[in-house]
């Protein structure tokens, strides 16, 4: 699937299917730091944005099928869409 089509599909899911999306809160980042949102589910992937502690992010699924074996979640924060480590995401109640 071409990259633009895949990105459009993810945006559609994140913006138009609230029943399928989960809301996360950025948690457990050091004081004064923020959570990096990456282009791909890998710490070596370029950052596409950052979210401060306690920010709310929309999630569209998580996977541990990653180069590191760690769990990453597809998230949207404002206009930024990318991947964030699950370790720093808490369910928003």
Q: Strand, helix or coil at 9?
A: helix
Q: pLDDT tens, 28-86?
A: 999 899 999 999 999 999 999 999 999 999 999 999 999 999 999 999 999 999 999 99
- Predicted confidence at residue 3, as pLDDT, reads 52
- Predicted confidence at residue 20, as pLDDT, reads 61
Cα–chain center distance at 48: 10
Q: pLDDT tens, 4-30?
A: 534 444 544 444 444 468 999 999 999
Q: Give the list of residues 6+ apart from residue 21 with CB closer than 8 angstroms, or none.
A: 13, 14, 58, 59, 60
Specify whether the CB–CB gap between 44 and 36 falls below 8 A.
no
């Amino acid at each position: 699937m071409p990259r633009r089509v895949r990105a459009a599909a993810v945006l559609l899911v994140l913006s138009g299917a609230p029943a399928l999306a989960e809301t996360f809160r950025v948690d457990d980042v050091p004081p004064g730091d923020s959570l990096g949102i990456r282009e791909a589910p890998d710490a070596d992937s370029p950052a596409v944005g950052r979210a401060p502690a306690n920010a709310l992010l929309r999630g569209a699924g998580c996977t541990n099928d990653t180069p590191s074996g760690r769990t990453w979640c597809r998230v949207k924060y404002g206009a930024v869409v990318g991947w964030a480590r699950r370790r720093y995401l808490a369910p928003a109640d």
